[in-house]
Amino acid sequence: MATARLSASPRTKSGKGTARKLRAAGEIPAVIYGHAREPQSLQLDAYALTRLLEKHSYTTTVIELDVAGTVARTIIRELQRHPVKRDVLHVDFQELVAGEKITVRVPIRFVGIPDGVKNGGGILDETVRELHISVDPSQIPNHLDVDVTALQVGKSLHVRDVPVPEGVHVLDDADGTICVCMVPKEVAEPTPGEAAAAATAPAEPELIRKSKAEDEEGAEGEGEKK
C-alpha cells in the first residue's frame, strides 16, 4: 500500500466563478466526504497536487489529507480534468474508516514473455489493464502481477487466473479475458486464380481530355472561321 501526504484548506465559497478564480491563483477546488461526516469544500495547491500525481497512482494510494491541522486518511475518488489541456479542475476525496472495506481499481502487471511470442510468432494482446477489488484500505496492493511466460499461441488468461493477496476480493467476472496470445494479422495474398484473372483482365480505355489551353485555342479558331 502506497501512502502520500497533502495539505488542504477549508473553502467557504462555491460556484463556477469561485472555482475559476481559485484555478487562476494556482489552487484547485476539492471536496471531502465519507462515512458519518458532512461533505466539506476544500482548496488545494495545484503544484503540490501535480507532484503527488506524478509520483503515485492515485487509485491505489492512501492520502493523508491535512485540513487545517486535522489529518484524515483518504483516497481520491474522482479527478475532473480539462478535456483538452488535461489540467485538474476538481478533486473528490473519500475519508477512510478503519475496518471498512472500499472498492478500488488496481492495475494488472503482466510479467515475462509468453512462450507463444518467443517461439510461436504470436503477440500478447492485453485486453484488460486493471481490476476492481474490494479491500481494507490498509491492504490495498499497488498492482497485481500475472505470469504470462507459459502462454501459448491461441491461449488466454482470465480474471480467475490472477493471483490476489489475502483479504482482496475481485469484483470482476471470473470468466473475463485479461490477455490472449494471438497470431498477428497479415495482409491476405491473392490466390493463383485471382492473380491470373487480374493479369488477363482487359485494360480500361484511357480517357483523353483536352487541356484548358487547347479548349481555349479551339474556341478562338472557331471564332475566326466565322
> Looking at residue 58, which CATH number applies to its domain?
2.40.240.10
Task: Give yes or no: residues 92 and 6 share one domain.
Answer: yes
Give the chain's domain count: 2
Which of 97, 118, 141 delimits the end of a domain?
A: 97
Q: What is the mean pLDDT of residues 183-210?
A: 56
Task: Give yes or no: residues 6 and 92 share one domain.
Answer: yes
- Cα separation of 8 and 120, whole Å? 54
Q: Is residue 202 part of a domain?
A: no
Question: Is the confidence at residue 203, as pLDDT, over 60?
Answer: no
Task: Give yes or no: residues 93 and 7 share one domain.
Answer: yes
Which of 165, 182, 199 delimits the end of a domain?
A: 182
- Cα separation of 39 and 42, whole Å? 10
Task: Give yes or no: residues 93 and 162 share one domain.
Answer: no
Rg of the chain in Å (alpha carbons): 31
E strands of the chain, at which residues? 2-10, 27-34, 37-45, 61-67, 70-81, 88-95, 102-111, 123-126, 130-135, 144-147, 156-158, 169-170, 177-182
Which of 97, 128, 147 delimits the end of a domain?
A: 97
Task: Give yes or no: residues 127 and 77 share one domain.
Answer: no
Q: Which domain holds residue 76?
A: 2-97
Task: Give yes or no: residues 22 and 88 share one domain.
Answer: yes
105-144 confidence digits (pLDDT tens): 999 999 999 999 999 999 999 999 999 999 998 899 999 9
80-104 confidence digits (pLDDT tens): 999 999 999 999 999 998 888 999 9
Task: Give yes or no: residues 109 and 84 share one domain.
Answer: no
Q: Is residue 213 part of a domain?
A: no
Task: Give yes or no: residues 112 and 44 share one domain.
Answer: no
Q: Is residue 203 part of a domain?
A: no
